[in-house]
A and B are shown apart, each in its own frame.
Chain A
Amino acid sequence: MRYSQYQAYAAQFPGKEVIDGVLYDTVQYPQAGALRLTFFNALRATIDLSNMRAAGQLPYPEEFCIRAIRFYVKAFPESTATAAAASVQLDAVNVISQMVNTGVLQLNIGQKDYGIYPLSNLPAGGGPFGVIVVNNVLIAGAACSFANNGYPHIRNTFTLAKPITIPSQMNFNVTITWAALAPVIRATNVTVALEGDLIRAIQ
């Protein structure tokens, strides 16, 4: 059989299609803090953690045009004791502060970096939104808190002025570094989401 005859049985049609998409990856920020976290460099166990189907690259013929970058903290409401006056309140809000005040994100494609951003510039643009009220007679005791990385509104995302396309099968990753350990009240999963156009085969 000639090669051209195999094309009649191809699992894809010529050309590619473009749809809205996201590439996301999740790693755990330790309670004691971290100096460096790397994203998109490994396959994760479940789809809630990542939708990468190859470690550190997009399988052929997929490509991805990044139009926005988000940093999401998978936080939960926290019950805490109120801190003494003139001291840091260790609560859910502090988790976000610790991470974004000194964290720096770097997008690496091939051998070059494409953008170095303070985490404070990369709001999640999503997450729970609500209110909590505490009723407790202990004046020095009860506090409840919750926080997102920024206002949880989809317009509150960092959009690239110039989109960046990750070619098929080219290595890429995202690193977040901190100059010093920034401890938080509990180990917390954090997600980097690259939002944009997924380019894939027509099938």
Chain B
Amino acid sequence: MNYRDYAAQYSGHIEAIGGVLYDTVTYLSAATVGLTAFTVARANLSLSNMELAGQLASPKAFLIRAVRCAILTVPWSSARVAAGTIQGGTLNDVAQLLNTGTMQLLIGNKFYCEFPLWMIPGGTGPFGVMAGDGDVADPGEIQDFGTNGVPDINNIRALTKPIFIGPQINFQVNLIWPAALTLAEGNTDIQITFDGDQLRPVQ
């Protein structure tokens, strides 16, 4: 019997489609100093589309053309703090995460894309306006919202030199902060996305 006649894929043929690899990790307020993405298979597609932990199943591969880091926040209401003080809230959460956060892409044993988080905009998120009626007794309240950069699809870090992740090679993204941050919104999800070319078998 020639088993190749019954193959689930055409031998040696690979197709390329536009695709993304994404993974979501949770920053634990007042606790996290480091997060690792793409190393664990997640529970559902809202969190990640990785089929394996830390690698792509052979013969799949991925050419990274752009990298994004989205801070997944919601509008937040906070007590206004005294004048001359940093105002807590969602926007401050984003500022804290970006101002001291650093991303590293590890493929095999080498680092690629070592960037401060403020240089890896999300290119996504809500865009809107807020208004208040101003009748809250002193010290008052603030409502705010924030994203990692302008939520515009053109606001993403497109690599001038794409990076290829081959089949079955280990890769992960490290997010690093020098100290734990206390966030007004509490635990906050961060989503890392690679935009690029997904290579997979012809079937």
* A24 contacts chain B at the CB level, 8 A cutoff: yes
B144 pairs with A133, CB closer than 8 A:
yes
Which A residues lie within 8 Å of B113 (CB)? 19-20
Which B residues lie within 8 Å of A77 (CB)? 86-89, 91-92, 95, 144
Q: Which of B141, B143, B146 contacts A128 (CB 8 A)?
A: B146
A133 pairs with B146, CB closer than 8 A:
no
CB distance from A97 to the nearest CB of B (A): 18
B124-142 vs A, CB cutoff 8 Å, 1 = contact: the mask equals 0000111111111111111
Which B residues lie within 8 Å of A137 (CB)? 134-138, 140
* B156 contacts chain A at the CB level, 8 A cutoff: yes
Which A residues lie within 8 Å of B146 (CB)? 128-130
* Cα-based distance from A51 to B91 in the complex (angstroms): 26
B80 pairs with A136, CB closer than 8 A:
yes
Q: In chain A, residues 183-203, which have Cβ atoms closer than 8 Å to a Cβ of chain B?
A: 185-186, 189, 191, 193, 195, 197, 203
Which of B118, B138, B141, B159 neighbours the largest number of chain A CB atoms within 10 Å of its CB?
B118
* Cα-based distance from A75 to B94 in the complex (angstroms): 11
B55-84 vs A, CB cutoff 8 Å, 1 = contact: the mask equals 000000000000000000000000011111
Size bin of chain A's contact surface: 35 or more
Which of B128, B140, B148, B151 neighbours the largest number of chain A CB atoms within 10 Å of its CB?
B140
B101 pairs with A127, CB closer than 8 A:
no
* Cα-based distance from A191 to B96 in the complex (angstroms): 15
A138 pairs with B86, CB closer than 8 A:
no
Q: Which of A49, A79, A126, A153 contacts B82 (CB 8 A)?
A: A79
Say which one of A1-9, A115-123, A140-148, A169-177 lies at the interface with B: A140-148
* B115 contacts chain A at the CB level, 8 A cutoff: yes
* A47 contacts chain B at the CB level, 8 A cutoff: yes
A48 pairs with B176, CB closer than 8 A:
yes
The number of residues on chain B lying at the interface, defined by a beta carbon within 8 Å of a beta carbon of chain A, is 67
* Cα-based distance from A130 to B147 in the complex (angstroms): 6
A76 pairs with B95, CB closer than 8 A:
yes
CB distance from A47 to the nearest CB of B (A): 5
A191 pairs with B91, CB closer than 8 A:
no
Which B residues lie within 8 Å of A45 (CB)? 178
Interface residues of chain A, those whose CB is within 8 Å of chain B, are 18-22, 24, 45-49, 51, 70, 72, 74-81, 124-138, 141-144, 146, 151-155, 185-186, 189, 191, 193, 195, 197, 203
* Cα-based distance from A102 to B160 in the complex (angstroms): 33
CB distance from B40 to the nearest CB of A (A): 23
Which B residues lie within 8 Å of A129 (CB)? 146-151
* B48 contacts chain A at the CB level, 8 A cutoff: no
* B102 contacts chain A at the CB level, 8 A cutoff: yes
Which B residues lie within 8 Å of A153 (CB)? 121, 149-150, 152, 154-155
* B51 contacts chain A at the CB level, 8 A cutoff: no
Q: In chain B, residues 143-190, which have Cβ atoms closer than 8 Å to a Cβ of chain A?
A: 143-152, 154-157, 159-161, 163, 176-178
